[in-house]
Amino acid sequence: METFWDFFSFTDANVRYVTFGAILVTSSAAIVGCFTFLRKKALVGDAVAHAVLPGVCLGFILSGVKDPLWIIIGAFITGWLSLLLMDQIISKSRIKEDSAIAFILSTFFGLGILLLTWIQKSGNAAQSGLDQFLFGKAAALVGNDLIVFSVVAIILIVLVVLFFKEFQLLAFNKDFAQSMGLPIKLIEFISTSMTVLAVVAGIQAVGVVLMAAMLITPPAAARYWTNNLQKMLLLAAVFGGFSGLAGAYISYLAPSMPTGPWIVVVVSLIAFFSFFFAPEKGIIPLARLQKRNQQKITDENILKGLYHLREDEKHLKQKFTFDELLEKRPMHKDRFHKSIKRLSRKSFIILDNHSLDLSESGLVVAKRVVKLHRLWELYLSEFLNKTPDQVHDEAETIEHLITPELERQLEVRLNFPNKDPHDEDIPY
Amino acid sequence: MNKDEPALLVRDLTAGYQKKPVLWSIYLEVPQGALCCIVGPNGAGKSTFIKTVMNLIPATAGDVKIFGKTLDEGRSRISYVPQRESVDWDFPASAYDVVLMGRYGKLGLFKRAGKEDKRIAMEALGKVGMESFASRQISQLSGGQQQRVFLARALAQEADLYFLDEPFAGVDASTEKAIIDLLREMSREGKTIIAVHHDLQSAPSYFDYTILLNLRLIAAGPTAEVFTDKNLQDTYGGKLTLLTEVGDLMKNKRFPEREK
């Protein structure tokens, strides 16, 4: 706990720098990644992330020192080269996109590892720490490294703000953008260069192996919470930045631990939380909605069953036993009793020792369901030319779905009829 | 602007995908104010034609004039409504966001949409009867509503020549009527409409100008003159096996369409 306060009080200047740098590079990657994600280039992003490794090594070999500027230039060149090669393979050969991506990723990464091993064997003392670019080490974000990587990250954020509407259009509808005369080739070039740069900016904190996760996971999580592109960019930046902060903390706590995996674990947890719990789109809210729909159908069917029983008795008898109702409307016992409990709690039915009756409000609901069922049957037979024996099953589900607006439309369209296709009364 | 200048003039336009010619030497012109349909069977190159005219697909040969000017000079006067299925409607945008995109061409780089652009976008939504859906996420719109949004985006461009790729595909009857009414009104105001159309039945009553296309141009002119049994027979009947085979040959042997 003490280290926790040591870290989060940010009294140590070093901690401040590392944290600031980690947040900046992860959040800028997340923002740029939103467009990679929306352009459906996630796998391409992964290939590029791996393809910067030989560039990192070449930058080192050519300069002889671990200078971030050389490393960025090298990484940028091989990153772009991998993209060009992928495009050429897809357009000029019979190899399809997925194979081209896999081919380029493994070739470039293999080459990178080869060079890295060669450098390590060469005995150059300056190479120590180069292997950190594989899985990242946020704690190394100090001095020159911090300045260079942060500047790249800031440039990326500024470019997204400047080209926001062009990137939006490119991602949504490229043909249309081109038809307007926007310089689409240039915009694509900038957008793709930014993907490469975002990867490059993140290699110190996250590492090349897992950098693609920083491009794609925050946008994927953010998409669950909003339908607005600006908000999506902001949320992705927050998710990315938070995982960067967590990575910096881990790096402070355990200096020998690579930070990339930790950052990715944190951002993945955010993503999983979003997949499950985001309102409207998450798995659990959707499952609950389905369950509520199921309950509504059961409840309304019981009320409808009671109404049908009343009709059978010409409305002379109003109280019926559970068994009478279950005979009229067979259903699973468990489901039946749960529904009965719900209905009596909402006082749609009046329970009296194993027999039951509709309350005032229950009668209103029951009548409406019966009405909608019969109106829909009539609609199907009049407008879709279905025979009376074909319409019942379809109306069984539709009756629970129809909104008051549709109900009114249906009534007007059919001119408030009295009888359904089976010659039964339509109650109003 | 010269009134007699055709809205679209196409000379010797030839185009294809990956060396396989899809359109063979098309010559035609569409007068200003025409409400024009492009009709032809599946795979006749109708979409390719409008895409090539706008240089979304590079032409292998030929020349296009928009109101007598080159394509690049005429860009700001054309508007394009792509096929509805050509985009991913799950994109994070509202109907209004999409319509506002129609203003981006006029805005140019780095500028943001201003009050006037926003007013024009809202007005365009109104013209297609979609004001009340302005803030609706686009994936929650029906097919017909999505098509209306695309049309509103085109209106927001305030162009003079409109290319529509199958505006009636997969829309309900009321949307189809709303769209054709709108196109007629635009045509009355002097706008030129060129739409890829699939339904032979409705084509003569909807459009006053017709282009019949099947890999090559069959006929182009006022609908009353062009829509003859013979022309339709030529467009839809008699498979052009020879033309297709030569096209395949060019692709397989990597043969150029024109000497370079």
For B62-106, how does the pLDDT look when each residue is reduced to its tens digit (9 = 90+)? 999 999 999 999 999 999 999 999 999 999 999 999 999 999 988
Q: Which pLDDT band, with edges at 50, 70 and 90, does B182 fall under?
A: very high
- Bridge partners (DSSP) of residue B38 are B196, B211
Chain A residues with beta carbon closer than 8 angstroms to that of B56 = 175, 178-179
Residue A142, token pair as written in the block: 């100090």
Nearest CA in chain A to B110: A162
The whole-number pLDDT of residue B236 equals 84
Q: How many residues does chain A have?
A: 428
**Which whole number is the average pLDDT over A347-366?**
89
pLDDT at residue B115 in the model: 93
**Between residues B198 and A302, which one has the greater pLDDT?**
A302
Chain-chain contact of A165 with B105 (C-beta, under 8 angstroms): no
Q: What is the pLDDT of residue B23?
A: 87
Residues A405-419: pLDDT tens digits?
Answer: 888 888 888 889 888
Q: Check whether A74 has a pLDDT greater than 90.
A: yes
Whether A49 has a pLDDT exceeding 80, the answer reads yes
pLDDT tens for each residue of A224-240: 999 999 999 999 999 99
Q: pLDDT grade, residue B2 (50/70/90)? A: low
To the nearest whole Å, the CA of B233 is away from the closest chain A CA by: 33
What is the share, in percent, of chain B residues with pLDDT greater than 70?
Answer: 93
**Per-residue confidence band for A255, with pLDDT thresholds at 50, 70 and 90:** confident
- Whether the per-residue pLDDT at B252 is higher than 90: the answer is no
pLDDT at B251: 72
CB contact under 8 A, A178 and B56: yes
Q: What is the pLDDT of residue B259?
A: 62
Among B51, B80, B85, B94, most A C-beta atoms within 10 A, so best to mutate, is B80
Q: To 5 degrees, how large is the angle CA A177–CA A229–CA B172?
A: 65
* A277 has pLDDT over 70: yes
A164 → chain B, closest CA residue = B110
Residue A163 touches partner B, C-beta closer than 8 Å? yes
- CB-based contact A169 B54, cutoff 8 Å: no
Q: Does B260 have pLDDT greater than 60?
A: no
Alpha carbons A26 and B116: distance in angstroms, whole number: 37
- pLDDT attached to residue A84: 93
**Given CA atoms A339, A345, A347, A353 in this order, what sign does their dihedral have?**
positive
- Identify the pLDDT of residue B1: 53
CA–CA separation, A195 and A215 (whole Å): 8
From CA A136, how far away is CA A56, in angstroms rounded?
13
C-alpha B124/C-alpha B151 separation (Å) is: 8
Query: Could you say which of A169, A181, A229 has the minimum Cβ distance to residue B92?
Result: A229
Mean pLDDT of A121-137: 79
Res A355: pLDDT? 86
Higher-pLDDT residue of B231, A107: A107
The whole-number pLDDT of residue B240 equals 58
Q: Which one, of B60, B56, B63, lies nearest residue B255 by Cα?
A: B60
User: What is the reported pLDDT for A151?
Assistant: 92
Greatest mean pLDDT range, A59-73, A128-142, B226-240? A59-73
Select from A31, A166, A176 the residue whose CB has the most chain B CBs within 10 Å, as the one to mutate to test that interface: A176
Q: Give the residue, B110 or B184, on which the prediction is more confident.
A: B184
Higher-confidence residue of B111 and A302: namely A302
- Is a pLDDT exceeding 60 seen at residue A71? yes
> What pLDDT band is residue A391 in, cutting at 50, 70 and 90?
confident
**A162: contact with B, CB 8 A cutoff:** yes
Question: Pairing state of beta strands B161-165 and B78-81?
Answer: parallel
Residue B72 is nearest to which of A175, A177, A181, comparing CB atoms? A181
Q: What is the pLDDT of residue B56?
A: 92
In this model, does residue A248 exceed pLDDT 90? Answer: no
